[in-house]
Structure 1
Amino acid sequence: MSARSTRATSAIARLKERSGNAKYTMSRTGSGLFFLTEGPGLPPLCAPLELDDFVAFVNGLGPQTPKRVSKLDVAFEKQLNKKAP
């Protein structure tokens, strides 16, 4: 497996974890484009895409993971709000 497809595979693994649907699969065309399906024999969920576009498409699917915010981020945000006129 090449480094290119590792990035795409990681995006699929994150999507499976977020959505709880283990049937998502990635396929690759002979020209090196990627597409997503929900299982063998089902139609693709997107047109064949370049790697960056495919990863962006997959990352946009399913429920999104909330961004983690640290205590320092919260304190910094408070400081910014106090200084704002």
Structure 2
Amino acid sequence: MRSTRATAAVERLKARSGNPDYTLVRTAAGLFGLVLGPVADPASRVSDWLPLDDFVAFVNAFGPQIPRRMTKADAAFEKQLVTKKPDA
């Protein structure tokens, strides 16, 4: 089922936000939408109708984000990736 990615994205959003009222809506045309609260209320729609990939990207960027865990090794590696500006 193609909507598994969309469902998983909405479940992650519910966990991040602490709000279990987010719901996935799928149209007959295969487009996805995100609603908050009752599906029957058109004012509760949070997103436009989007194709699967765009919907998953929207939901992943929507709401509070969990900060990325940084280990000492990760921080040292990122520090090495930063290029130094040449002295003028």
TM-score when normalising by structure 2: 0.80
Q: Counterparts of 1:11 and 1:59 in 2: how far apart (Å)?
A: 6
More helix by share: 1
C-alpha deviation, 1:60, in angstroms? 1.3
> Counterparts of 1:18-29 in structure 2 under 5 Å?
18-29=16-27
C-alpha deviation, 1:32, in angstroms? 0.6
C-alpha deviation, 1:46, in angstroms? 1.5
* Aligned-CA RMSD value: 1.8
Q: Mark the runs of 5 or more structure 2 residues left unpaired by the alignment.
A: none
Instruction: Give the number of aligned pairs.
Output: 81
C-alpha deviation, 1:77, in angstroms? 3.7
Name the aligned partner's letter for residue 47 of structure 1: D
Name the aligned partner's letter for residue 14 of structure 2: K
C-alpha deviation, 1:27, in angstroms? 0.7
TM-score when normalising by structure 1: 0.83
> Counterparts of 1:1-16 in structure 2 under 5 Å?
2=1, 4-16=2-14
